[in-house]
Amino acid sequence: MHPLLQHDKTHLPEILDQTQTIALEFLQSLPERTLSASRQSQHIHYGDDQLLPEGIGAKTALDDFWRHYANGITGSAGPRYFGFVTGGSTPAALAADWLVSTFDQVAQLSHDNITAELELATLSQLKTLLGLPAAMTGSFVSGATMANMVGVLLARQWLGHQRGVDVAQQGLAALGDICVFSASPHSSSVKALSMSGIGRNALTLIPTLQGSEAIDPAALEMALKEAGEAPVLVLASGGTVNTVAFDDMNALVALRQRYGFWLHVDAAFGGVAACSAQFSPLLSGWEQADSITVDAHKWLNVPYDSAIQFTRHLSLQREVFQNQSAYLDAATLLENDYLHLTPENSRRWRALPLWMALRAYGQQGMQEVVERNVALARQLGERLQNSTGFELLAPVRLNVVCFALSEGDAAARDAFLQRLDRAGVVRCTPTALAGRPGIRAALVNWQTQQQDIDRALSSLLACR
């Protein structure tokens, strides 16, 4: 063994202690840490892009790394980062995630170790938490983008089946064009259309209900009639990123009954609201979808990268993702042989952090985070609306505040966001709603509290 490897092997306890010291220093700094790293802090230290002929050992490598790059690491996992939709990590999820790397298990087969059964057990709890039927199956993937991709690939396979085509075997050309209907699809679903070979141009944007991002079911019905016999995929929103608008899932399910399309629901963060009886009606009917996306690294507050794709068409999933090979023992296809069910072969034991968090905090812990985030988002919205210089672009339906400067164009908005970033107290990101330049504040972090809203609001007002 190389002497440095041998050295590190014998000094592992010290290396892990040192790692914990860095981790604690970071976690304790999180509430006050910069929310957007300066350009300067993003430079690579002299020589750090050069391969060393002789290594320096883990201890020095860790020390050097932390000394040179700590300032380039932001507090995006902290309580006042409201940009995009970015969760943090609860203590239980973080602990489990460390252990996932430590254990480094083969998590692609059903019978090698505990990983597959624990993934099933995690999903079973998650279905209970979110009110999804036990009959739905699921698997962990890297994010909602990949969960949407799986949904789209299953749709493709199912639409082929309806017409006697096996797309997995024959290719998409054997099926021909697919019509994709959606009112406010997330950009990652459109990416999935590209990656799947369906093509971005297959998407037809359906009008929304007046003053909302939610789909107008009557307009969708007209499009369905027009599509005639063509294969149709409907991409529904279970919470849009701007205004957290929910498509009327029951109306979509009723239309599916009559027109026979594949219904995919992107509920990346909005789906988690179903853990609260206050908000679960927003998702009513989603349990009947053909495929569903839920992110774990957003509102469920596990570390990147983790999401779940659900479906009620397990056999189709095997057709799409089966990975036959003599050396992989593919003869025995079990429900949770994940290498036959997911885009990846080798995969991380992603279920463990969510499993640990659900054990640690239970249904009530998850519900408390969701309800607190929503209450604080509504309060922030109200206070912005009542202050001069800001207005809401939409009512705060759930956990996202979509607002704007009362005056000024996109350049004024961008200059405002730059001032806000320099102040570094709160992070918001730009958007546009109905052609108007806007600003989003998305609350999904388990640590966000009243004092964070007070501080965020003061900074927003000061930077006007």
Ligand X SMILES: *Cc1c(COP(=O)(O)O)cnc(C)c1O
Question: Which residues of the chain form contacts with ligand X (CB under 6 A)?
Answer: 85, 143-145, 186, 188, 241, 266, 268-269, 295, 307
Specify the residue, 76 or 145, whose C-beta has the smaller distance to ligand X: 145
In whole angstroms, how close is the CB of 186 to ligand X at the nearest point? 3
In whole angstroms, how close is the CB of 244 to ligand X at the nearest point? 9
In whole angstroms, how close is the CB of 399 to ligand X at the nearest point? 11
At CA 459, angle to CA 458 and CA 460, rounded to 5? 95
In whole angstroms, how close is the CB of 85 to ligand X at the nearest point? 5
| Helix and strand counts by DSSP (H, E) for the chain | 14, 11
Please report, for residues 268, 280, 399, the alpha-carbon distance to residue 273 in angstroms, rounded to integers and kept in the order given: 10, 6, 9
DSSP 8-state secondary structure symbol assigned to residue 277: T
Specify the residue, 394 or 457, whose C-beta has the smaller distance to ligand X: 394
Specify the residue, 165 or 236, whose C-beta has the smaller distance to ligand X: 236
* Distance in angstroms (rounded) separating the CA atoms of residues 436 and 392: 11
In whole angstroms, how close is the CB of 358 to ligand X at the nearest point? 19
* Distance in angstroms (rounded) separating the CA atoms of residues 348 and 355: 14
* Distance in angstroms (rounded) separating the CA atoms of residues 367 and 273: 8
- Which tokens is 115 given? 């990983």
In whole angstroms, how close is the CB of 74 to ligand X at the nearest point? 17
Specify the residue, 241 or 457, whose C-beta has the smaller distance to ligand X: 241
* Distance in angstroms (rounded) separating the CA atoms of residues 111 and 132: 26
Q: 329: closest CA among 110, 17, 22?
A: 110
Please report, for residues 335, 345, 418, the alpha-carbon distance to residue 121 in angstroms, rounded to integers and kept in the order given: 13, 21, 45
In whole angstroms, how close is the CB of 176 to ligand X at the nearest point? 27
Specify the residue, 224 or 245, whose C-beta has the smaller distance to ligand X: 245
Specify the residue, 165 or 193, whose C-beta has the smaller distance to ligand X: 193
Please report, for residues 49, 199, 218, 279, 423, the alpha-carbon distance to residue 419 in angstroms, rounded to integers and kept in the order given: 33, 39, 44, 35, 6
* Distance in angstroms (rounded) separating the CA atoms of residues 155 and 202: 14
In whole angstroms, how close is the CB of 136 to ligand X at the nearest point? 19
* Distance in angstroms (rounded) separating the CA atoms of residues 140 and 124: 12
Specify the residue, 80 or 298, whose C-beta has the smaller distance to ligand X: 298
Specify the residue, 144 or 224, whose C-beta has the smaller distance to ligand X: 144
